């Protein structure tokens, strides 16, 4: 508003003084175009920053995952850039023009901050499937970082080449805990399967020798 008021006032003053401002306006237009081309990246970041602040797809403290694979907590949302602190304690500065056009997963948004993790588990053919489901549920219930509501679920996902595939789905309180909770559950599953003799299959090949050829030694002279 101030710039518009000063500009219009200067225009009318020049007219009153009998000075033709047309040439000056043309020069100013050319200069403005040149400045616009030179600062297009900065202006793009500024406009994207305004849209991000207005639309709020994420806010400070949210845990986000970018389409490029980076994941971490948003530490600052500025006019020119957004800063994200990764799980390795490395701060990434992303221009708003880039992040404004990226696909972002905000794992802290939604109905609640809780986050669901999915663990893929395979068991050998011939295993007691009801026992497998019950064991996986009990392991999830016993983990203190797993939410009891919604309750953990076990789903059979199909028949693999050498395994029957299951998926353990359980909720945790914060997305940032997904790595540590998955580690704890996998360790407990392996130890419990070893204790109950539930086989976890792995790729292997059996070689059968049908016939051993006869070895003939040369006769000594």
The Cα angle at residue 23 between residues 18 and 25, in degrees rounded to 5 = 100
- Note whether 118 and 168 are within 8 A (CB): yes
Tell me the DSSP string of 129-190: HHHHHHHHHHHHHH-TTB-SSSPPEEEEEEE-SSSEEEEEEEEES-GGGHHHHHHHHHHHHH
Note the pLDDT tens digit of each residue in 61-77.
888 888 877 788 899 88
Q: What is the pLDDT of residue 217?
A: 63
Q: What is the pLDDT of residue 33?
A: 58
Tell me the residue ranges of DSSP E strands in 96-140. Answer: 104-106, 115-123
The percent of residues in the chain predicted with pLDDT above 70, rounded, is 83
Residue 31 above 60 pLDDT?
A: no
- Note whether 171 and 188 are within 8 A (CB): no
The percent of residues in the chain predicted with pLDDT above 90, rounded, is 31
Lowest mean pLDDT among 1-15, 105-119, 158-172, 188-202: 1-15
Residue 221 above 70 pLDDT?
A: no
Q: Identify the three-state secondary structure at position 100.
A: coil
Element (H, E) at 93: strand 91-95
The partner residues of 84 in beta bridges, in order of sequence, read: 74, 92
Q: How confident is the model at residue 162 (pLDDT cuts 50, 70, 90)?
A: confident
When the pLDDT of each residue in the chain is averaged and rounded to a whole number, the result is 82
Max avg pLDDT among 32-41, 69-78, 131-140, 196-205: 131-140
Rounded-to-integer distance, Cα 38 and Cα 66, Å: 29
Residue 104 above 90 pLDDT?
A: no
């Amino acid at each position: 508003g101030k710039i518009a008021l000063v500009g219009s006032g200067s225009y009318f003053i020049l007219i009153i003084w009998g000075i033709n401002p047309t040439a000056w306006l043309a020069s100013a237009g050319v200069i403005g175009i040149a400045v616009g081309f030179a600062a297009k990246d900065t202006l793009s970041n500024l406009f994207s920053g305004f849209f991000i602040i207005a639309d709020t797809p994420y806010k400070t403290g949210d845990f986000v995952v970018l389409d490029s694979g980076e994941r971490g907590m948003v530490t600052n949302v500025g006019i020119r850039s957004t800063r994200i602190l990764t799980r390795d304690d490395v701060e990434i500065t992303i221009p708003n023009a880039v992040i404004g056009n990226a696909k972002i997963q905000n794992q802290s948004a939604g109905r609640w901050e809780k986050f669901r993790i999915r663990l893929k588990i395979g068991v050998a053919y011939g295993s007691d499937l009801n026992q497998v489901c019950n064991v996986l549920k009990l392991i999830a219930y016993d983990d203190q970082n797993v939410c009891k509501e919604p309750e953990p679920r076990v789903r059979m996902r199909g028949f693999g080449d050498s395994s029957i595939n299951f998926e353990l789905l359980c909720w945790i309180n914060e997305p940032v805990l997904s790595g540590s909770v998955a580690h704890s559950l996998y360790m407990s599953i392996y130890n419990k399967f070893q204790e109950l003799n539930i086989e976890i299959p792995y790729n292997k090949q059996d070689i059968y020798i049908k016939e051993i050829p006869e070895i003939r030694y040369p006769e000594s002279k």
